[in-house]
Every structure is written in structure tokens, then in C-alpha cells.
Chain A
Amino acid sequence: MLHYITINIDGADIKTPKGVSVLDTAIEYGICIPHLCHVPGLSDIGACRLCIVEQITNSHSKITASCTLSVQDGMVIRSNTDKVRKLRHNIAELLIAKAPNSRAIQDIAVRCGVKRVRYPFRNENCVLCGRCVRACSELWHANALGFIGRGKERHVERPLNIRQEFCKNCGYCIQLCPMTITPCDGPIKPGKEYLCGNCESQLIIAEETSEKCVWCELGKGFNCARYSQC
């Protein structure tokens, strides 16, 4: 039998089974917490930091990622304060400035309210979310992909740089990669990067209902966990 506990997210008392993460609970209850590296069914590493929330203990607030935070009885979480929104905006801005050539990341930028990118664009192909690596090792136990290097050298690579026999050709890495869906206007050429504004219909949703999940179109780009629940 599941053991239920109560936590408070954005003022709402929510009953949730013990052992799940704050992010899962919030999404289940229709509270929108943008996320990228979280994939239902895979372990969470807290890499993208988009799902940050404020955890309040004894009127002391702490910023932490909600995907790696397990629920505890009486926990108080604020997912949509000005502070959280601003930090989330800054992280989304870092991501989009690095890899604008992805509809998923463009969508996340819209959802997090990025309207202008203050850094020079780069047109890189990986944001190190690690979805492919975890899917490969955890779902299929193939370990045909992994991270190599540290700091700016960190990248996803196959063992010894070649496709190994133990790769099962499942294609799950490609399916989960946020970079494989190009922006609606097609791939962005190097040097011509832009912040895609094509989701204007979604902009109002992003601004006015930033705290609720309204089944926005923006989540489809990166397989928002809410979509995978149904």
C-alpha cells in the first residue's frame, strides 16, 4: 500500500505518495514547472536546473531543483515566485544562446519568458541534458553512450568513438534528444541565429498562466512530462 503524505506547493496542500519527486507531484497536479533533462521513468540528475523551486523551511528559503527533491511530509514549495521566474529565465537564456537550433529549447525559452538574448548566439548541437545517456544505460542497459571530459570539454560520445556492437539501434537517444526537432522555419544556419517568435499564440499563455499547466503546445517539443503521463 502506498503511504501518502501532504506537501504544500504554491499554497495548495497536495497529497502525494512517499518517495516521488516534487517535480512529478507538481506536474501530476497541473502545476507547471518547466523542465528539460527530466524524463519520466529515467533517474533524475538535476542537470538542466530549469525545474528550480524555492523550498521554504522555517521561513528560510533555498533554491533547489525539484526533480531531485523527494517529497517529505509538511514540505513547503514555491514554484512560481519572482525570484524563481527570474532565475529560470536566466537559465533558459543560457540554453537558447548556446543551442537555438532546437524547437524544444526555443519553446522552453518562450515558456520561461525569454524575449531577448543578451549573449552572442552560438549554434551548438548539445546542451548536455543527458537524456540520451540515461535512456541508453537505464532503459536498455546498453551503455553505448556516455559523457566524456569535464568542464568545457564535456560531451556525449560512444565508447572509443565508434558505434559498439552492444548498441541496440533502438534510436531512443535520437527520439529523446531535444536537438532533433528543428525550429518550425527549418534549421537555423550558423551566423543567422535568432530567437524564434513563431509561437506568439503561446506567448500569452506563457505570461499569464506561468504557474498552471494549460497543456500548452510548447511542451510537445521536448516531451513535457505531463504529455507522457497520459
Chain B
Amino acid sequence: MPRLSTREDLELMEKRILHDMKKINKTLIVCGGTGCRASRSQGVIEALNKELLEHKMDSKIHLRVTGCHGFCEQGPIVVIEPDNTFYCHVKPEDAHDIVIKTLLNDEIINKILYTDPVSGEKICKEEEIPFYHMQDRQLLYQNHKVNPLSIEDYISIGGFSALSRVINNMSPEEIIHEIKVSGLRGRGGGGFPTGRKWKECREAPSDEKYIICNADEGDPGAYMDRCLLEGNPYLVLEGMMIGAYATGAQKGYIYVRNEYPLAVKHARHAVQRARKLGLLGENVFGSSFTFDVDVARGGGAFVCGESTALMASLEGKVGEPRPKDVHTVIDGLWHKPTTLNNVETWANIPSIILKGAKWFASKGTKGSKGTKIIALTGRIKNTGLVEVAMGTTINSVVFGIGGGAIDGKSIKAVQTGGPSGGCLPVDKFNLPIDFDVLYEAGSMIGSGGVVVMDESSCMVDVAKYFLEFLQDESCGMCTPCNLGIDRMLEIVTDITEGHGTPAQLNLLEELADTVNQTSLCGLGKTAANPVLSTLNYFRKEYEEHINNKKCPACVCKTLIEYFIDSEKCTGCSACMHVCIHEAISGNKKEVHIIDPVLCQKCGICKSECKFEAIRVK
């Protein structure tokens, strides 16, 4: 492949690819993201390939294996362009039908159509699915168009034209001004204005500067960075190149955790392809701009998502944070000015350059612009990756896109922002997704994880879960984070086990505040948020645990008791057989009894009982 040494080369290549694509009348898009791979999309891809070859359709029909579409629970997903017929839960044996019926005869296969869990209707087209049509998919839609292993696909949708525009027509100051006007803020959690960060880095005096893409995503349940990097690595790469041109950096790193093997593979492949085309390396597009990127793998420590710890890890040291009194834009990687942004932030850059800052700023609220990808999980009907404009209310995300609660239960709270964020109760669901509003409410957008909880979740237990996570993932260097989280966990464990006292509640609050204020790095400074926000909004649950020794959600094991409803029990003995602790006794066709001393509260009997006779009090 020839090197793209000028802007015209890129345009020519785009034209050539588009010309070649005209021969193709239909495209089969199969999701090959990690989520769909887990539901065996690899088998579907092989079967489809085989069928296409068998029917000699491989020249007319293009099979594109793409990154994540966001609707992972419906995987493996197959979409057929240009009609956008949407098939879900596709199995390899469906491949024959897809090729014969849908591709050859334009028939719809009802069996693998999507059923809307809210209305119960079958939906044929992708854009008609409520989960998709309520979103504003600026970044995620590109995943459909691009095979992550094909740079040609990316160029065909206008890829790298933003880069060629900035190199040929814009000065670094103009780019920074454009980013500033767009109002883009860091998507990794902090929400720092990206334009300001770039400006400070540009102005920092140094002969060497660095660009880092932070793909060390570690929040439980969040995977938008993985999805972007493995679905469309070129987009991230182009954003980094523009950032490098604007700040004057010569070297960039993509720091991606090793637990994301596909993202590592695709990012490496993208870097190699871009180097071959001359997009990375010396004199990009014939200019004096020189930039190269390396992919660095992280060992999977949550704390390495913190910028200074990440840089320490990149330098080959132990991934521990250092004080940030001097910002990393001045004293960063190897003590050189460094611009570190999240994957999603980088991915937003090319479209700001192409479509303009005004276009970007037209979406969102006063303080938060653009769109945000959210990893929507928990006790709702539709889960997956969701991209909405900033300012969309939590209500419309949870009840609109998410489809509301499952099993007829009522939703109690959302947890946003992972371990650094907090829990918001239902009466706060009218709040918009906005950096400042959520921060004031005691939570944060964070990297964008949203976990929906219904009445079966105990908020004290949720706080305990996050404290356990943070205790494991804290580097343990500073006192408040190490000892403080430990003691908070001790108190919360006491409460869930029924030994809590009202005085402990005040101590917990005071300690949480101390940890938040005095910790060394961002991890510690936000570590107490799960505790503080649950204490703030769900204090009654804590008090119920302490004063009445009851867990309202029946989660905390020491405070609950399993019993058999004598009216419903038919004496089938099913529970007796599954109880490994031999805590259930009773004769056939007579009411059974659970021995509370032997019962270990594992709940197996409850899930086994067909008559709902086993209850918790």
C-alpha cells in the first residue's frame, strides 16, 4: 500500500475505496465485540462466511465484522444493510436462513427478530428499536461502519480528514481555541475542560511532550472505553494525533489494560496500519509534524487509571500516584509536559474539528456539552452501552432507554460513576446527566457507569461492596485511604451484621469526610462517595439496620431469616433435597420446616421452590 504523503493521496484513496464499495449491494454486519464474542459470535461469523462462499455470493455481499454495537445482552447481533434489518441472539445454524431467506429473497426471519420487552412486539429495523432510537449515537454509530482491523473502512467514512484539515489549514492555537469553544470536558471522570488542559500543555516550555490515551478502565460494570478502542481504534488514534499536533507532542501512548485483549490487539493493529500508511511517523501529510504512538499494557490495577499512577506505571515504576500540586500538563510522564485524556475524550476530537465546535456545543447543557456514552446495567429491561446527549435526564435513560424495572419490582436508586460516584434515589431521577449537577447531588458522571438498583438491593450492602472493592484496589500508600477505607468497611460491616450503634453512624460520616479531603490521589478523594451518598439519601436504611436490626431489602445475611409459608408449602421436598446444610426437615406432603440454626442463608431453597413458599423476613 502506498504511503499517504499528501492530503490529495488521502482523498484519492477515499474515492477509490468508495468506488470499490459500489459493487456491493448488501452488507452483513456481525458484531465481533467482546460482548458478542462471549455469546459465540465467532461461530456465527464462520457459518455466514461458509454459506456466502457456498452460494457464491461473497463478491456481491460484504461481511463486516465490527466492534460493539452496545446492545450486548441481545448478542450475537447481525444487521443487514441497507435495510438495517436487525437480528439478535443469532446462532450459527441461523446462517443458512439468513443467507437464503433474507439476503436472496428479502424475507424476514421472525424467529430471530428483536422482541421489545416493554410492548412485547417484534421489531424488524434497528432504528425502530426503542433502545436505539432514543439515543444520540455520535460515536457509537461509527462502530457499525468500521471493521476495526480495516483502516480502509475508517477512511471510507471520512476518517483522517480531520487530521489532514488541521495539518493543512489550522494552527495549533486555532485547534485549541476550537476545542475550548466546543466546551468538551474530560470524559474519564474528572470533567476537566479539555481545551484548557491542551492550552496549558502547549504553553509549558519543553522540547519533549507526550500524549497519553487512558484506556485503563476499571469501574465495575463500565466498558465504554473498551468498546470504543476495540470497535474503532482509528478514531481514538486520530484524536490523539490532533492533540499531539495542537500541544506539540512527538510521542503518544495508549495505556490499555491487559484484561482487554481484543482492545490491545486492535489498537496495536491500528497503530501498525497507520504507520504503514505514513499517518504515524515523520512528516505526516508532507508537513513537519512528527508523531508516533505505542501501545502500553497495564497490569489491571484500578489505581493506574489515576493519571500520575498511570504515568508511574508507564515509566516502569510501581503504579502509585504522586502528589499533583504541579499538574501533569507541566510535570507529567518523565517529568515532561503530558496531555492525558480518556479514550472517549480523544474519540470526540475528530468530529469537533470536522463538524465544528458550534455543532458540538449545540448538544448538552450549559456546563456539559456533547454526548456521553453510558454503560447501563442493573435491574432493568434493556442493558448495554447507551450514548445520549448531555442533559438527558436519568429518568429517560432508566425508564426510556432502559425500559424500566424487571420482574414487576420498583426501582429504588441508580449508582453512577462507579466506585468514585454515588447513589441517587428515585426522586432525583429528574436530574440531567451533567458534570456539575450530579456532582452537587453527591454523585458524579465518572467514566459513565450507571447501575440501576431496585427494591431488592440493600444500600448499606452496596456501600459495603464498593468499600471492599476500593480496599482491594487502593495502592495503600497514604493513611486516610488505606486505614480510612479499612475502618469505614469495619463500621459498615458491623452495621450489616447487626452490631452497629448510632454513634458509629456519625463516626462513619466524619471519617468519610476526612478520607475525601485528605487523601493523596483521586481514588482516595472520591472513595467515600458511595458511603456519603447512601448515608445522605438512604439514612433510614442504615438506621433500620442499627436500631431494629432489620435489613429492609432482605440482603444482609445476619439480619434475615428464611422460613416456609405453611399455606403455600405442598411438601414436595424439593427444598429439602437441595439444601446442602441439611437445615430443612419434614415428611412428604406435609409442611416443611427450616432450622434457623443450621440454615446458612444461601437462598438455594428459595430459588428451587416452585410455589414461592420460602420467604425471607
Query: Which residues on A are within 8 Å of B, measured CB to CB?
Result: 45-50, 52, 63-65, 68-70, 87, 90-91, 94-95, 97-98, 118-120, 127-128, 130, 147, 149-154
- B482 with A152: CB separation less than 8 A: yes
- B323 with A65: CB separation less than 8 A: yes
Smallest Cβ distance from A23 to chain B, in angstroms? 12
Bound Cα distance from A69 to B473, whole angstroms? 26
A48-B478 contact, Cβ under 8 Å, with A90-B510, A94-B484, A119-B487: yes
Bound Cα distance from A68 to B331, whole angstroms? 14
Q: Is B128 an interface residue (CB 8 A)?
A: no
Q: Which of B326, B475, B483 has the most CB of A within 10 A?
A: B483
A45-B477 contact, Cβ under 8 Å, with A87-B514, A90-B511, A152-B471: yes
> Which stretch of B70-78, B391-399, B516-524 is in the interface?
B516-524
Bound Cα distance from A64 to B476, whole angstroms? 18
- B475 with A151: CB separation less than 8 A: yes
A46-B478 contact, Cβ under 8 Å, with A69-B325, A118-B507: yes
| Further pairs besides A98-B483, A118-B503, A153-B476: 15, Cβ < 8 Å | A47-B478, A49-B519, A63-B517, A63-B518, A68-B325, A70-B325, A87-B514, A90-B511, A91-B514, A94-B483, A95-B483, A119-B487, A128-B476, A151-B476, A152-B476
Smallest Cβ distance from B546 to chain A, in angstroms? 16
Smallest Cβ distance from A9 to chain B, in angstroms? 16
Some 19 contacts from A to B, beta carbons below 8 A apart, are A47-B477, A47-B479, A48-B478, A52-B518, A68-B325, A69-B323, A87-B514, A91-B480, A98-B483, A118-B503, A128-B476, A128-B477, A147-B318, A149-B476, A150-B301, A150-B475, A152-B472, A152-B476, A152-B486
Smallest Cβ distance from B524 to chain A, in angstroms? 9
Smallest Cβ distance from A52 to chain B, in angstroms? 5
Q: Is B490 an interface residue (CB 8 A)?
A: yes
The residues of B that contact A48 with a CB separation of less than 8 Å are 478-479
- A151 with B477: CB separation less than 8 A: no
- A49 with B478: CB separation less than 8 A: yes
- A94 with B472: CB separation less than 8 A: no
Q: Which of B303, B325, B480 contacts A94 (CB 8 A)?
A: B480
Smallest Cβ distance from B306 to chain A, in angstroms? 13
Q: Is B474 an interface residue (CB 8 A)?
A: yes
Smallest Cβ distance from B466 to chain A, in angstroms? 14
Identity of the chain A residue whose Cβ is nearest the Cβ of B470 in the assembled complex: A151
Bound Cα distance from A154 to B482, whole angstroms? 9
The residues of B that contact A152 with a CB separation of less than 8 Å are 471-472, 476, 482, 486
Interface string of B314-336 (1 = CB under 8 A from A): 00001000110110000000000
Identity of the chain A residue whose Cβ is nearest the Cβ of B503 in the assembled complex: A118
Identity of the chain B residue whose Cβ is nearest the Cβ of A147 in the assembled complex: B318
The residues of A that contact B318 with a CB separation of less than 8 Å are 147
Bound Cα distance from A63 to B516, whole angstroms? 10
Interface residues on B, range: 20 to 34
Taking CB atoms and an 8 Å cut-off, the chain B residues in 419-473 that contact chain A are 471-473
Q: Which of B473, B482, B517 contacts A128 (CB 8 A)?
A: B482
The residues of A that contact B474 with a CB separation of less than 8 Å are 150-151
Smallest Cβ distance from A99 to chain B, in angstroms? 10
Interface string of B477-507 (1 = CB under 8 A from A): 1111011101100100000000000010001
The residues of B that contact A128 with a CB separation of less than 8 Å are 476-477, 479, 482
Identity of the chain B residue whose Cβ is nearest the Cβ of A52 in the assembled complex: B518
Report whether over half of chain B's contact residues are helix, strand or loop; otherwise say mixed: helix
Q: What are the 9 closest A-B residue pairs judged by CB atoms, nearest first?
A: A154-B476, A68-B323, A90-B514, A94-B483, A63-B517, A49-B518, A46-B323, A151-B472, A151-B474
Bound Cα distance from A62 to B518, whole angstroms? 10
Identity of the chain B residue whose Cβ is nearest the Cβ of A90 in the assembled complex: B514
Bound Cα distance from A89 to B507, whole angstroms? 13
The residues of A that contact B511 with a CB separation of less than 8 Å are 90
Identity of the chain B residue whose Cβ is nearest the Cβ of A91 in the assembled complex: B479
Q: Which of B486, B503, B517 has the most CB of A within 10 A?
A: B517
A87-B476 contact, Cβ under 8 Å, with A97-B487, A98-B483, A154-B482: no
The residues of B that contact A90 with a CB separation of less than 8 Å are 510-511, 514
The residues of B that contact A69 with a CB separation of less than 8 Å are 323, 325
The residues of A that contact B480 with a CB separation of less than 8 Å are 49, 91, 94
Bound Cα distance from A153 to B325, whole angstroms? 28
The residues of A that contact B325 with a CB separation of less than 8 Å are 64, 68-70
Smallest Cβ distance from B81 to chain A, in angstroms? 47
The residues of B that contact A95 with a CB separation of less than 8 Å are 479, 483
Identity of the chain A residue whose Cβ is nearest the Cβ of B323 in the assembled complex: A68
Bound Cα distance from A152 to B518, whole angstroms? 19
Q: Which of B303, B514, B518, B519 contacts A150 (CB 8 A)?
A: B303
Bound Cα distance from A47 to B520, whole angstroms? 8
Identity of the chain B residue whose Cβ is nearest the Cβ of A46 in the assembled complex: B323
Smallest Cβ distance from B587 to chain A, in angstroms? 48
Taking CB atoms and an 8 Å cut-off, the chain B residues in 285-331 that contact chain A are 301, 303, 318, 322-323, 325-326
Smallest Cβ distance from B278 to chain A, in angstroms? 42
Identity of the chain A residue whose Cβ is nearest the Cβ of B489 in the assembled complex: A152
Q: Which of A52, A94, A151 has the most CB of B within 10 A?
A: A151
The residues of A that contact B303 with a CB separation of less than 8 Å are 150
Bound Cα distance from A52 to B478, whole angstroms? 12
Smallest Cβ distance from B398 to chain A, in angstroms? 32
- A127 with B479: CB separation less than 8 A: yes
Smallest Cβ distance from A157 to chain B, in angstroms? 13
Bound Cα distance from A152 to B483, whole angstroms? 9
- B518 with A87: CB separation less than 8 A: yes
Smallest Cβ distance from B476 to chain A, in angstroms? 3
Smallest Cβ distance from B469 to chain A, in angstroms? 10
The residues of A that contact B510 with a CB separation of less than 8 Å are 90
Smallest Cβ distance from B477 to chain A, in angstroms? 5
The residues of B that contact A45 with a CB separation of less than 8 Å are 322, 477
Interface string of B241-279 (1 = CB under 8 A from A): 000000000000000000000000000000000000000
Q: Which of B301, B475, B518, B520 contacts A154 (CB 8 A)?
A: B475
Smallest Cβ distance from B420 to chain A, in angstroms? 16
Smallest Cβ distance from B503 to chain A, in angstroms? 8
Bound Cα distance from A68 to B514, whole angstroms? 19
- A119 with B476: CB separation less than 8 A: no
Bound Cα distance from A109 to B474, whole angstroms? 25
